[in-house]
Amino acid sequence: MNIYVCIKQVPDTETKIKLNADSSGIDSTGIKWIMSPFDEFAVEEALRLREKNAGSTVTVLSAGPVRVTESLRTALAMGADNAIHVETPETADSYRVGKALAGALKKEPKVDIVFTGKEAIDDGAAQVSQLIAEAMGLPYVTVVLSAEYSADSVKCRREVEGGAIEVVTTPLPALIAAQKGMNEPRYASLPNIMKAKKKEVKTLKESDVGVSDADQKIRYKNLQLPPPKQAGKKISGESSQQAKELARLLHEEAKVI
C-alpha cells in the first residue's frame, strides 16, 4: 500500500504567544515548534497499517516555511519512509494549504490511503483534511477513533455529538482524520532520530503543485490577545455582610445578575 500522512507544525502549547508588529499574526521569534498532537495519531496509524501490509510505504507531507522540515524529520524518526515538504508562506490559510497538499499527492504514482489529524491545535479550523479530500475527489471520514481495514475499504468508528459513536464504511482510496484515542503514538528511538537526520526531504514549490498567492482566501489583520485576567477580590466581614457585598459585586461589576 502507498500510505500518506499530512501533518502540520504548530507552536508548543506551553509557548507564550505574542503578536507581530502589524498584528496580522503571531511573532514566531523564540517559539518552540512541534508536530500537532492529533497528527501524531495519524502517523502512528499509518505505521501500524504498514506493519500489517508487507511492502507498504509511509510518506509524510507538510506545507509551510522551511522550519516544518523539523516536524517531517520527527515523523521520519517515528518510522516513516519518505517525506515531502511543500513550501508555502507562514500566512497561508486552510484553502491554500489544502490545495498545496492535494497537489503534491496528485503528483505521486498512486495513493491508497491518506491520514491526517482531525484538526491542528493552533487554529482549530478542522478544514484542511476535508479540503484535501475534496480536491482529490476522495471520500473522507473525520474524528475517527478506530478503523478496520480490508483490501478495498475501511470501516471507521467516529465520534459524534453527545458521546455517541457513528460507524462508517468507505471504499479505498480514502482520507481518514484521526481523533485522540485512535492509538498510542510511539516514541522515536535515538538510532531512528539519527537516521532521520540523514534522510532526504523532497521539496516542492507552490508552482510545482498548481498553487499561487491567488489561492489565498483569508488574510488576517488586527489580531488581539485575550485581555489579562483581573485579580480576584477577597470579601471580608460577617457572613451576612459578605453575602450582601457579593451580590452587589455580581450585579454592579460582573453584571451577571
pLDDT value at 180 more than 80 = yes
Residues 6+ apart with CB under 8 A from 187: none
pLDDT value at 68 more than 90 = yes
* pLDDT at position 207: 96
Q: What is the mean pLDDT of residues 110-136?
A: 94
* pLDDT at position 142: 95
Phi-psi map region of 242: left, alpha, beta (phi>0 left; psi -120 to 50 alpha)? alpha
pLDDT band at 134 (very low <50, low <70, confident <90, very high): very high
Kindly state which CATH superfamily the domain 2-215 is placed in.
Answer: HUPs (3.40.50.620)
156 three-class SS: strand
Domain boundaries of the chain, sorted by first residue: 2-215, 230-257
pLDDT band at 153 (very low <50, low <70, confident <90, very high): very high
pLDDT value at 27 more than 80 = no
pLDDT band at 228 (very low <50, low <70, confident <90, very high): confident
Q: What is the mean pLDDT of residues 233-255?
A: 89
Which of 5, 37, 45, 4 shows the shortest CA–CA distance to 182?
A: 45
What do you get for the CA distance between the two ends of the chain, in Å? 61
Q: What is the mean pLDDT of residues 48-66?
A: 96
Rounded CA-CA distance 177/42 in Å is 7
Which of 176, 202, 190 shows the shortest CA–CA distance to 41?
A: 176
- pTM value is 0.86
Query: For residues 179 and 63, is the Cβ–Cβ distance under 8 A?
Result: no
Which of 206, 1, 199 shows the shortest CA–CA distance to 96?
A: 206
* pLDDT at position 148: 96
Question: What's the whole-number average pLDDT of the chain?
Answer: 92
